[in-house]
Structures are given as C-alpha cells and as structure tokens.
Amino acid sequence: MRSRRGVPVQVAWLACEYLPRKSFGPELSARCTAELSAAMRIAQVAPLYESVPPKLYGGTERVVSWLTEELVRLGHDVTLFASGDSMTTARLIPACSASLRSSPDSVDHLARHLILMEHVLEHKEEFDLIHFHVDYLHFPVSRRERYTHVTTLHGRLDIPDLVPLYEVYGDMPVVSISDAQRDPLPHLAWQGTVHHGIPKDHYNFHSGPGKYLAFLGRTSPEKGLDCAIEIAQAARMPLKIAAKIDRADQEYFDACIRPMLDAPDVEFVGEVGFPQKNDFLGDAAALLFPISWPEPFGLVMIEAMACGTPVIAYPFGSVPEVIADELTGYVVSDLPGAVQAANKIDRVDRKKVRKHFEQHFTAGRMANEYLTIYEQLSYKKKAPTPTGVLNWMKLPSPSNTT
C-alpha cells in the first residue's frame, strides 16, 4: 500500500514513529500525518436490517453511510457490504437484494448475515482493514483469520449474556460510541471511543423559535415516549411524535401509548425519513429525550443539534457526553425538571447549539478519529522492526577506525 505521494506507508510510518517530530519542522510534521491517512483500502460491513442509508429509521446503518461517504471523500478505497438497495459512492457488495426489514419473505435474518460474512471472507485479501458493524457475529471467524479488523459496538452492553461471551472474546479490538457504553464491560480491548458524526451540511440550521416539542425514536418503553407525552402536557406545549413501532413493541404501544395519544395537542405522525426529518426537528422548540436506559449514543440528539434545536434529556448513558447542559439544552433528572426546562427553552441560543454540533459532531471529525484507529491497527502491528533505520547508531566512531 502506498500513500498519495507514492511513499510506501511503512516507510512513512517508521519515519513518523521513530524520528523526533520537532526535527521535521511544521511542514514535514503535517506531511507525516497526511501520509499515514492516505489511500487505505477499507471494508465497511453493515447490518442487513436496513439499507445504507436507511429510508426511515435505522441509526447504525445511517452512521455507516455517513462514515463510508466521508472516507470516500477523503480519498480512500472503500467497499461497503450491505443490502442491495443501499446507495453509496463506494463499491457496493450486496449480501441480499433488499433490506431485511423491507422484505416480507425474510424470516431467518441470521441466514442472510452468514451470507454477508461469506462475501466478506471472499474479498478479505483486498483490504488493509475490515470495519465491522454487525456486533459479535464475526468473532469466531475473525479470531482465526489473519486480516486486520475492528468492530464498532453500536448497542447496549449491560446484558448478562455478554459477560461470558466477552470472557471468551475479550481480545477482539472494539470501539465504543460513548465512554458510558463501556461501563458494563470496561476490560475489553477498547481501541477508542468515537462519537457519531453527521455531514456538516446534511441538516439546515433553523433559527426558531420552535412551535412544538418533538419526540423522534422507537416506541419501546426505554425510549420514554410516555414520559414525553406527560412532559408536554404538564408544560402545556404541543407535542409531535415521529416514531417507529417495531413488532416487539406493538403490544406495549397498543396498551400504554395509544390511549395517551387522545390527549390534546398530541400528534402522532409515524416514521419520518430524510429530508422530512430536517423540518420536523428544525421547527421544534426542543427535542424530548426522556430515556430510562443506558443509551449507547442517541443519534437523534445530534440530529436535533445540527438543526439548532436544543435537547431536554434524562441523564442516562451517553447523555452527559452529548448534551452540554444549558448550552445545547438541559440535562434533567425527572418530569418536573423537564417541564421547567421546556418552559425556559427560549433561553438557549440556537446558534450556539449549531456551533457546538459543528465543533464536536461532524462526519469529518468521526472519520478522522476512525482513521487514527485504523492506522494504529494496520501499521503499527505490521511495521517491520526498524533496525535499518537505526543502524547508523551502530556505526563505529572515527577514533575506532584509525
């Protein structure tokens, strides 16, 4: 593999790793960073449940899309393993014709993901690094193969069954999407934490003021839709709900949520995709995020911030890492606190919310942080012993040659 300037990457790595940076000067030091981040052959392996990007709901697949497109934009050779209805500027290798969620005949989703893994193995020699987003599915194979790989864990880790699993696979290189996500399993082979990022111009800034409170997410109990309705009613503000109803949540929705939708000023609009999501979030006074679980990240929070919309959230999981309290919204502990926050939401400067997004949660920042991890795994592990570079230290002194 060669860098953009034709220098073998391992040579560039040796120079940057073993020679003092201050001896380079600022221009050469900057070139070192550029050499190491150039022209990688990267595979992105996405779940098959949704297309990449998803048409409607689908956080993991959406993040994979943004990461893939940004890596292509930066000049890398990227291959995306995903469903056949995905759209990308990378090379696409489909494992099924359409996303499993959109295929009524697809019942055994594991079968399709095994086909996905077979496709990855068929092409493994073509990549400098394979980036998995399919949880632990590939662990038994990746442990026995020689390819360089890393896995972003997108889900919750406080599940008892994961304890014995990671006692066996604790050496697998993994990435967290928040520091809080690591808490149940702190001793894994963590390579870093990379917060999600969105293309800077994907969402438009809305100067406000917003017209209603918004809820966007699944209707599962831990997402707190019932609390959102209670908050809006107590604050005497309209609430618009853009929510996905999974089959697993249908019974809960029918028994607990549907009766609450008869309350005044509560509107259930169903799932929304892009670009409808832009106006749905941007026209809101605030996004409500009253979760009751250890949220691994919460992509909708930064989607709202990209629109300039502040967030009112309960302090679980990643929330304190994502929301800057009183700057991009309010982190509150209970319903009265959320109502109080809603009633003073106009104190939040929406321009500062957008600025905070641009400083911390763009796809460019996300891609660069992943590239740092890719480089550490790809180059440092494979770099040759630098004996040739340092042989000059073993040269005899002039006094010994006379």
pTM: 0.84
How many angstroms separate the CA atoms of 140 and 127, rounded? 19
**Of 346, 215, 321, which Cα lies nearest the Cα of 269?**
215
Average of per-residue pLDDT across 125-132: 97
Helix (H, G, I), strand (E, B) or coil at 214: strand
Inter-axis angle of helices 9-18 and 25-36, nearest 10: 130
Average of per-residue pLDDT across 251-273: 92
How many angstroms separate the CA atoms of 311 and 300, rounded? 9
Question: Tell me, what's the pLDDT at 377?
Answer: 96
User: What is the second-level CATH architecture of the domain 213-359?
Assistant: 3-Layer(aba) Sandwich (3.40)
pLDDT above 80: residue 401: no
**How does residue 397 score in pLDDT terms, banded at 50, 70 and 90?**
very low
Q: Quick one: what percent of the chain has pLDDT higher than 90?
A: 75
Q: Quick one: what percent of the chain has pLDDT higher than 70?
A: 85
Average of per-residue pLDDT across 289-306: 97
CATH class for the domain made up of 9-199+363-380: alpha beta
Question: Tell me, what's the pLDDT at 312?
Answer: 98
pLDDT above 60: residue 388: no
> How do residues 37-59 score in pLDDT, each as one tens digit?
568 999 999 999 999 998 877 78
> How do residues 315-367 score in pLDDT, each as one tens digit?
999 999 999 999 999 999 999 999 999 999 999 999 999 999 999 999 999 99
> How do residues 102-128 score in pLDDT, each as one tens digit?
777 878 999 999 999 999 999 999 999
**How does residue 384 score in pLDDT terms, banded at 50, 70 and 90?**
low
Residue pointed to by tokens 């590239």:
371
pLDDT above 60: residue 3: no
Kindly tell me the sign of the dihedral angle through the C-alpha atoms of 134, 140, 143, 145: negative
| CATH 3.40.50.2000 domain position(s) in the chain | 9-199+363-380, 213-359
φ/ψ of 173, rounded to 5, equals -70, 125
Q: Which residues of 165-195 are buried (b: 16+ CB within 10 A; e: fewer)?
A: ebeebeebbbbbbbebbbebbeebebbebbb
**How does residue 380 score in pLDDT terms, banded at 50, 70 and 90?**
low
**How does residue 394 score in pLDDT terms, banded at 50, 70 and 90?**
very low
Order of strands across the sheet that contains 286-289: 266-268, 239-244, 213-218, 286-289, 311-313, 329-331
